[in-house]
Amino acid sequence: MDYVQNIIFLLLAFVGIGLFIRNILKIKRNILLGKSENRSDHIAQRWLLVLRIAIGQGKMMIRPISGLLHIIVYSGFIIINIELIEIFADGILGTHRYFGKILPASFYNFVTGTVDILSFLVLIAVTIFFIRRNITKVSRLNSKDLLGWPHMDGNLILAIEFLMMLSLLIMNASDSTLQRMGIEYSCGFFPISTYIFEQLFSSFSKESLFIWQKSTWWFHYIGVLFFLNYLYFSKHLHIILAFPNTYFASLHKKGQLNNLESVSKEVKLLIAPNTDPYSAEADDTIPEKFGVSDATDLSWVQLLNAYTCTECGRCTSNCPANLTGKKLSPRKIMMDVRDRIDEIGRNIDKNGHFLEDGKQLLGDYISTEELWACTTCNACVEACPLLIDPLSIIIDMRRYLVMEKTDAPNELNIMMNNIENNNAPWQFSQSDRANWTKE
Among the listed residues 242, 344, 392, 390, the one whose alpha carbon sits nearest the alpha carbon of residue 29: 344
Query: DSSP alpha helices (H): ranges in 181-299?
Result: 191-201, 206-230, 238-247, 261-270
Residue length, the chain? Answer: 439
- DSSP secondary structure code for residue 192 in this structure: H
Give the pLDDT confidence score for residue 259 in this predicted structure: 82
At position 166, the amino acid (one-letter code) is: L
69 with 124, same domain? yes
* Rounded to 5°, angle at Cα 236 from 235 and 237: 90
Q: Is residue 53 assigned to a domain?
A: no
The residue out of 247, 277, 299 marking a domain boundary is 247
Q: Is residue 37 assigned to a domain?
A: no
SS3 label, residue 35: strand
Give Cα separations from 26 to 236, 286, 311, 348 (angstroms). Answer: 16, 31, 21, 10
- Buried b / exposed e across 33-59, counting CB within 10 Å, b at 16+? bbeeeebeeeeeebeebbeebbeebeb
Question: Distance (Å, rounded) from C-alpha 373 to C-alpha 393?
Answer: 14
221 with 296, same domain? no
Among the listed residues 346, 142, 156, 124, the one whose alpha carbon sits nearest the alpha carbon of residue 234: 156
Query: Is-contact 155 130, C-beta < 8 A?
Result: yes
First to last CA, the chain: 99
Give the pLDDT confidence score for residue 277 in this predicted structure: 53
Question: Distance (Å, rounded) from C-alpha 323 to C-alpha 311?
Answer: 17
Question: Distance (Å, rounded) from C-alpha 190 to C-alpha 187?
Answer: 9
Q: Is residue 436 assigned to a domain?
A: no
The residue out of 178, 213, 247 marking a domain boundary is 247
Give the pLDDT confidence score for residue 280 in this predicted structure: 53
Query: Is-contact 416 408, C-beta < 8 A?
Result: yes
227 with 272, same domain? no
Number of domains in the chain: 2
With the C-alpha atoms ordered 18, 24, 30, 34, is the resulting torsion angle positive or negative? negative
Per-residue pLDDT of the chain (439 residues; tens, 9 = 90+): 568 888 999 999 999 999 999 999 999 999 999 999 999 999 999 999 999 999 998 898 888 888 888 998 888 878 777 788 899 999 998 888 889 889 999 999 999 999 999 999 999 999 999 999 999 998 888 888 888 889 899 999 999 999 999 999 999 999 889 888 877 777 889 999 999 998 888 888 888 999 999 999 999 999 999 999 999 989 889 999 999 999 999 998 887 888 877 777 777 777 776 665 555 555 555 667 889 999 999 999 999 999 999 999 999 999 999 999 999 999 999 999 999 999 999 999 999 999 999 999 999 999 999 999 999 999 999 999 999 999 999 999 999 999 888 888 888 888 888 888 887 888 877 777 778 788 7
156 with 278, same domain? no
Half-sphere exposure in the Cβ direction for 408 (13 Å, CA) = 16
Q: Is residue 319 assigned to a domain?
A: yes
326 with 293, same domain? yes
Query: DSSP alpha helices (H): ranges in 330-438?
Result: 330-351, 361-364, 368-373, 379-383, 390-403, 410-422
238 with 319, same domain? no
Q: CATH number for the domain including 378?
A: 1.10.1060
Q: Which region, left, alpha or beta, applies to residue 313 given φ > 0 means left and ψ of -120 to 50 means alpha?
A: left
144 with 7, same domain? yes
203 with 321, same domain? no
The residue out of 247, 282, 313 marking a domain boundary is 247
Q: Is residue 200 assigned to a domain?
A: yes
Q: Is residue 187 assigned to a domain?
A: yes
207 with 292, same domain? no
Question: Distance (Å, rounded) from C-alpha 364 to C-alpha 391?
Answer: 19
Q: Is residue 43 assigned to a domain?
A: no
235 with 281, same domain? no
Query: Is-contact 69 124, C-beta < 8 A?
Result: no
pTM of the model: 0.89
SS3 label, residue 112: helix
Q: Which region, left, alpha or beta, applies to residue 378 given φ > 0 means left and ψ of -120 to 50 means alpha?
A: left
Give the pLDDT confidence score for residue 255 in this predicted structure: 78
26 with 127, same domain? yes
81 with 226, same domain? yes
- DSSP secondary structure code for residue 232 in this structure: G
Domain that holds residue 132: 2-31+63-247
Q: Is residue 252 assigned to a domain?
A: no
